[in-house]
Amino acid sequence: MHKGNTTGRRIELFDTTLRDGGQTAGINFSAEDKKRIAHKLAGFGIDWIEGGWPGASPKDDQFFELMRDRVWPHSKLVAFGSTARPGWKADDDKGLRKLVESGADAACIFGKAWNVHVSKALGISLEENLELVRDSIAFLKEHFPTVFFDAEHFFDGYNADSVYAVSVLEAAQAAGADALVLCDTNGGNIPYRVAEVVTAMLERFPDTTIGIHAHNDSELAVANTLAAARVGADHVQGTINGIGERCGNANLISVIPDLQFKMGLDCGISSDQMKELRTLSDFVNEMANRLPWRHQPYVGLNAFAHKGGIHVSAVRKSSDLYEHVSPEAVGNEQRIMVSDQAGRSNVIFKTAEMELGEKLDPNDPAVTEVVAHVKEMENQGYAFEGAEASFHLLFLKALGKFRHYFELEGFRVIDEKHGHEGQPQAEATVMITVGGKFSHTASLGNGPVNAIDTALRTALLGHYPSLADMRLSDYKVRVLSTAEATKANVRVLIESTDGKRKWGTVGVSTNVIDASYQALVDAIEYKLILDKVSPPDAEDMA
């Protein structure tokens, strides 16, 4: 009925982040986490939100209790489970009873569609499995207006014995299932085969919604989902950021804009809601305690980042020359990187982003100087992609518009340890001059970098009180040449914050303390620039 028609159709979005996604190794959502995610999904406009498996764990039971007072104008909460246990009637099955008692709006159960799984995993006859499917769905339809059937291992089952796999769907349809969801449970199928099978099922069940549930074990979950939707599957399942057991599930963060922007299919997500795509992705990562993938399509930090000078020159004229969609359409933004591949366009664009009052003439020799200096510094190991504050200072120096806020007279760091099991102790001594005034400060720290950071800012606080708000929020060290072993250059990247803003700085040296000091000084001086603090007069610094 739907084959080949990719316009004018409404795709149902079914999110299983809270159930399938919660099975990801290393992710452990609390009941409260799940509640917050569920409300976020509802606000985004997801049609069906699968909350978990009532009765499978106290946490899932607690989640469904927490959700009883939900008020969602559109989204529906789904309880997940399995067909009745072998040897049990649906009326007597505790698992199915838990679904009914959950307070959910709909139910989704899975059943075996692969003959080998029926005989080996369940240890029952093929006919008994069909009866479990029929009996379970018929029971749930007495209690829920909507019941979904996930045909587990459907594609593998269809490849092994298509007649039996289809008979499982027939049993579910006859019992009243509202959608027959074809599951690539092992994630081993490829798009053209998925399209063939989905097409065959659409022809076999023309009056029943056909769905797709793809896993990513072959890195094809998104592609398989799009292939199924293209030929007519109107129900799409997946998770936010593609989290899920083993290699994960189809990533709805990619699937949704692909369906709407690329295929012209309506997922019911408004343009305003689509602008929350990155926020949704970041929120789920935060709840999962995972760092965002910087290169994630659509929403990653680098999804619309431009590094090559030719690219930058082009996107300044028309962003669609190197961007497949508008970053703003998915809540992201364009980023121009500064690197050894940079050209004049990168520098001009980056200085326009700084918004600190500098007006740059494109023909200013400072542009050429900055480009040359950046290339030289990156050849030494500097990286300005995550250290735009250091680049800003570099630019100001090239323009002759930068004065240091203090002069370093010297520093010393002592790091000592007594005995194999003893705790190391670090002490830093810093001598600086600010406006002709000399300071000599010593501080202890839980490491040499912390000690010198504390000593330096202690020495400066009397002159620059706003530094009290500043702290380091991230610190990374990378060895740049493993061939040089302990003699190699190291790059230190520091992220700093004052509670309102964040900025990154970089230092490079064969000495990790020196590299850290470079990045620390840039971070401190950039903070003072942000605060519009004037440096001491040149005469006083002399």
Q: CATH topology for 12-256?
A: TIM Barrel (3.20.20)
Query: H or E element: which one contains 113?
Result: none
Q: What sign results for the dihedral spanned by CA atoms 215, 221, 222, 224?
A: negative
CA-CA distance, 291 to 319, in Å (whole number)?
28
pTM listed for this prediction: 0.71
3-state secondary structure of 127: helix
Answer whether 420's CB lies under 8 Å from 520's CB.
Answer: no
Query: Which pLDDT score, from 0 to 100, does residue 3 have?
Result: 44
For 307-363, write each residue's pLDDT tens digit.
666 666 666 666 777 789 999 999 998 876 655 555 555 566 666 555 545 556 667
pLDDT of residue 146: 98
Answer yes or no: are the C-beta atoms of 37 and 281 closer than 8 Å.
no
Beta bridge partners of 13: 236
- The alpha carbon of 427 is separated from its chain's Cα centroid by a whole number of angstroms, namely 39
pLDDT tens column, 173-201: 999 999 999 999 999 999 999 999 999 99
Q: What integer pLDDT is reported at residue 394 of this predicted model?
A: 85
The pLDDT value recorded for residue 381 is: 81
Q: How large is the C-alpha radius of gyration of the chain? A: 30
Distance in Å from the first CA to the final CA of the chain:
83
Question: Which amino acid does the sequence have at 30?
Answer: S
- The pLDDT tens digits of the residues spanning 381-408 come to 887 766 888 988 988 887 788 899 999 9
- CB-CB contact of 398 with 373 (8 Å): yes
User: Which pLDDT belongs to residue 197?
Assistant: 98
- Whether the pLDDT of residue 234 is over 90: the answer is yes
Tokens of residue 258, six digits: 């692909």
Sheet holding 471-479, edge to edge: 471-479, 490-497, 502-509
Residue 247 has pLDDT above 90, yes or no: yes
Is 268 exposed, middle or buried (CB count within 10 Å of its CB: 0-12, 13-18, 19+)?
middle
What single-letter DSSP state applies at residue 484? G
| Gap between the Cα atoms of 146 and 142, Å rounded | 10
Give the span between the Cα atoms of 403 and 294, in whole angstroms: 34
Closest to 105 in 3D by CA, of 60, 143, 152, 65: 143
25 by DSSP, 3-state: which? Answer: coil
Least confident of 192-196, 247-251, 473-477, 511-515: 473-477
Q: What is the rounded average pLDDT for all residues in the chain?
A: 89
pLDDT of residue 4: 46
8 Å CB contact between 81 and 95: yes
Q: What is the pLDDT of residue 401?
A: 83
Looking at residue 371, what is its pLDDT? Answer: 75
Query: How far is 522 from 530, CA to CA, in rounded Å?
Result: 12
Q: List, for residues 69-110, the tens digit of each pLDDT value.
A: 999 999 999 999 999 999 999 999 999 999 999 999 999 999
**Hey, where are the domains in the chain?**
12-256, 407-541
Extended beta strands in 269-330, E state: 305-306
Amino acid in the structure at residue 195 = A
* HEC profile of 354-371: HCCCCCCCCCCHHHHHHH
Structure tokens at 343: 């050209």
pLDDT at 488: 78
Q: Which residues contact 452 (CB under 8 A, 6 or more apart)?
A: 411, 413, 428, 430, 443, 445, 513, 516, 517, 520
**How many DSSP H helices and E strands does the chain contain?**
19, 16
Strand order, beta sheet including 437-445: 407-416, 425-434, 437-445
Position with higher pLDDT, 171 vs 536? 171
Task: Check: CB of residue 221 under 8 Å from CB of residue 238.
Answer: yes
List CB contacts of 515: < 8 A, sequence separation 6 or more. Answer: 477, 490, 491, 492, 507, 508, 509
List, for residues 421-445, the tens digit of each pLDDT value.
888 899 999 999 998 899 999 999 9
- Give the up-direction half-sphere exposure of residue 144: CA atoms within 13 A in the CB hemisphere: 31
> Mind giving me the DSSP string for 297-314?
TTTSTTTTEE-SHHHHHH
Amino acid 323: pLDDT:
84
* pLDDT tops 70 at residue 473: yes
Q: Where are the beta strands (DSSP E) in 396-519?
A: 407-416, 425-434, 437-445, 471-479, 490-497, 502-509
For residue 280, the model assigns a pLDDT of: 95
For domain 407-541, the CATH superfamily is Alpha-isopropylmalate synthase LeuA, regulatory domain (3.30.160.270)
Is 306:315 a contact under the CB 8 Å cutoff? yes
Percent of the chain's residues with pLDDT above 70: 89
Q: What is the pLDDT of residue 101?
A: 98
User: Residue 438, SS3?
Assistant: strand
Residue 364 pLDDT greater than 90, yes or no? no
Four-point Cα dihedral 527, 530, 531, 533, nearest 10: 80
Per-residue DSSP letters for 181-194?
Answer: EEEETT----HHHH
Q: Whole-angstrom Cα distance, residue 54 to residue 34?
A: 13
Residue 483 has pLDDT above 70, yes or no: no
Q: Please tell me the distance from the alpha carbon of residue 60 to that of residue 39, in angstroms, as a whole number.
A: 16
Is a pLDDT exceeding 60 seen at residue 32? Answer: yes
Residue 511 pairs in a beta bridge with: none
User: What span, in angstroms and rounded, lies between the C-alpha atoms of 309 and 306?
Assistant: 8
Side-chain-side CA neighbours of residue 199 (13 Å):
12
Q: Show the CA angle centred on residue 136, arms to residues 134 and 139, nearest 5°.
A: 105
Q: What is residue 27's three-state secondary structure?
A: coil
Angle CA 529–387–411, to nearest 5: 70
Q: Which residue, 182, 179, 178, is CA-closest to 195?
A: 182
Residues, the chain: 542
| CA quadruple 223, 258, 232, 108: dihedral sign | positive
Q: In this structure, are strands 425-434 and 407-416 parallel, antiparallel, or unpaired?
A: antiparallel
Beta bridge partners of 79: 52, 107
